Chain A
């Protein structure tokens, strides 16, 4: 079985500062994928970034980077230079061994001007 844990229910960040969202995972399969999605108040889920378990380097997509620490089973999302439009719910998710995508409980981010 696979499990995703997001321990931060909500957090504030000052505009233009960086923020780190925590995500830990658990799986016994050596091959897995980790995803981060953003959900604004409108409800749609927006894919942000992907990290494969065999990827040697941390994934980056614009202002988003994934701090992948395999030994600690963590996949934290770092948002640099926060913008007001970054205020949203953020979900970490994983899939392993062709199994379904499992989501964490989410972290709500509120960017303050």
Chain B
């Protein structure tokens, strides 16, 4: 079946612009995660959605970062006023309710000039 999909695959933006990154989880997966993979920092958790519960935003690095999940499915990660240090690969993962295995999408490579 279809895996986790993310769009765009690559995004180049100028410093100060806003960007939106999209994630389509696997059908039936109620849990959705955003991670960031950057050089020297490895993979860092950003935000986690589980069903209709309030999201766990504890990993968001600043208030310029936000995410929403509409209808319990598609999620959008928004970065406002992008900075060069935001350049990274943003990964989305999803899983079944209370399951241990997360399935990752291919990522969006964000480059802030």
- The yes or no verdict on A and B being binding partners is no
